[in-house]
Amino acid sequence: MGGLIARLGAWPVALLAVAFALLLLTAGLGGLRRMTRPMTPLIDAAQRIEAGDYSVQVPESGPRDLRSVARAFNEMSARLKASDEQRRGFLAELAHEFRTPLTVIRGQAEAIADGVYLGDAAHLTPILDATQTLDRLVEDLRTLVLTDAGNLVLHKEPTDLGALAADTVESFRTQADGAHVTLSSEVAGDLHPVDIDPARIRSVLGNLMSNAIRHTPSGGSIKVGVGVGGSGEDVLVTVTDSGEGIPAELLPRVFERFVKGASSPGSGLGLAIAHDIVTAHGGKLEIQSTMGSGTTVRMVLLARTVG
């Protein structure tokens, strides 16, 4: 009998313990909900970003640590939105640049196939020109991809930059004469060979020459100079034209991709690629221009002298 009473007396204690445990659990869950409630907007926003909505922002309120997290989240969201807009713009511009030469090729080829045009040189030339445009565009995009990935390989070798520049100028002589533009070059005599990738730097000079000729009116002039830079070891290359100049609002963005003047027939990739190539050499590419007074492009190669 005493043992039964003892056992019955233990029940209230056990029930009290269970009730207390349930009370603690309930209080803990309530506290956990209060702690996690401020995170709900962050969780919802993260799910929206996962679904592709990069415009989402969260309130920067609450405790200091939570405000810091919210601020970092909003900055991340803004960068993702800007990157997505840039990607969409890039693809739209790329589609436009491909569409123009493809339209020429298709139109000419269909006209020849239908017997509207003869398959002679006069009607095949536009197809060949458009094909060359596509080839240059593909090569430009390849260079951009390599640059973005940090995989642009430079095959450097000791190079007489003065001779390379003079040779590049001569290769544009016929084009300049056809545009009735005076073309000249001046190369200093005290230049050391520099360690550069001659093919890449030639392409940069070629792009600068093409731009200068394209934007210099008949009767104008273009001068290419090669000399010693300010440090005494750097090489300075300048391309100066008496052309139309670059609008002030466009000048700060000339090295961005697909940025070009309204009248420019180019893709808007040339200067961006030239800038990337020079930067990969450890150099600088700068532009000074005034509307109606011409443009000067300065290329400073911070290459090591050799020999």
**Interval 25-40: pLDDT, tens:** 554 544 444 544 566 7
- pLDDT tens digits, one per residue of 116-152: 989 898 899 999 988 988 888 888 888 888 888 888 8
Residue recorded with tokens 């020429």: 104
Pick the closest to residue 212 from 184, 237, 241, 185 (CA basis). 241
Q: Do the Cβ atoms of 306 and 193 come closer than 8 Å? A: yes
| Spatial separation of the C-alpha atoms in residues 193 and 283, rounded to whole Å | 16
Q: Which CATH class is domain 157-301?
A: alpha beta
- Residue-averaged pLDDT of the chain: 81
**pLDDT band per the 50, 70, 90 thresholds, residue 221:** very high
User: What's the confidence (pLDDT) of residue 4?
Assistant: 40
pLDDT at 215 over 80: yes
Number of H helices and E strands in the chain, helices first, is: 8, 7
Q: What is the pLDDT of residue 202?
A: 92
What CATH architecture does domain 78-148 belong to?
Orthogonal Bundle (1.10)
CA 102 to chain centre: 24
Contact (Cβ atoms closer than 8 angstroms) between residue 289 and residue 251: yes
Rounded average pLDDT over 79-104: 82
**How far apart (Å, rounded) are the C-alpha atoms in residues 94 and 85?**
14
Domain borders along the chain are 2-77, 78-148, 157-301
In this prediction the pTM is 0.68
